[in-house]
């Protein structure tokens, strides 16, 4: 089950540089491609707004 990004995302970009599978896309609210996400949790660990979690 891939991680998801909630509406609490402030699009700061912290998670993008940490994702080893390049599954995160930029936007007003970032999104995670479930087909690329390896469920490592690195993005959730570095998110300053705690906007990333498992569904």
- pLDDT given at position 51: 98
Structure-token pair, residue 45: 């660990």
pTM of the shown model: 0.92
- pLDDT given at position 7: 96
Provide mean pLDDT across the span 31-54: 98
- Taking only the tens place, the pLDDT of each residue in 5-34 is 999 999 999 999 999 999 999 999 999 999
Contact status, residue 10 vs residue 34, Cβ threshold 8 Å: no
Q: Tell me the C-alpha to C-alpha distance, in Å, between residue 10 and each of 1, 2, 49.
A: 23, 20, 8
- pLDDT given at position 4: 98
- pLDDT given at position 25: 97
- pLDDT given at position 18: 96
């Amino acid at each position: 089950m891939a991680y998801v990004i909630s509406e609490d995302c402030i699009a700061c970009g912290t998670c993008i540089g940490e994702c080893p599978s390049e599954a995160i896309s930029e936007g007003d609210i970032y999104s995670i491609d479930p087909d690329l996400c390896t469920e490592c949790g690195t993005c959730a660990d570095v998110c300053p707004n705690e906007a990333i979690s498992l569904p």
